[in-house]
Amino acid sequence: MRLRNHPSSSERLPLAGKRLAITRAREQAGVLREELAALGAQVIEIPTIEIRPPDSWEPLDAAIHRLEEFNYLLVTSANGVRNFLARLAACGRDVRDLKGLTIGAIGPATAAELARAGVKVDLLPREYVAEGLLAALGDRDLHGKAFLIPRARVARDLVPRVLEERGARVEVVEAYQTVTPDISAKELARLLTPPPDAITFTSSSTATNFAKLVGKDRLGQTLHGVVIASIGPVTSETLRKLGLTVTFEARESTMAGLVKAIQEYFSKG
Give the tens place of pLDDT for each residue, 55-97.
Answer: 999 999 999 999 999 999 999 888 899 999 999 999 999 999 9
Listed in sequence order, the residues at least 6 apart from 204 whose beta carbon sits closer than 8 Å to its beta carbon are 234, 235, 237, 238
pTM: 0.80
Same domain, 113 and 62: yes
pLDDT at 5 over 60: no
Structural domain of 35: 9-49+181-268
Tell me the C-alpha distance between 27 and 58, whole Å.
25
Same domain, 96 and 22: no
Listed in sequence order, the residues at least 6 apart from 210 whose beta carbon sits closer than 8 Å to its beta carbon are 23, 46, 48, 199, 201, 219
Same domain, 209 and 263: yes
Extended beta strands in 145-251, E state? 146-152, 169-179, 198-201, 227-230, 248-249
Choose the final residue of a domain: 179, 208, 242. 179
Same domain, 73 and 141: yes
C-beta of residue 263 within 8 angstroms of C-beta of residue 39: yes
Beta strand 227-230 pairing with 102-105: unpaired
2 occurs within a structural domain: no
Residue 92: what residue type?
G
Domain count, the chain: 2
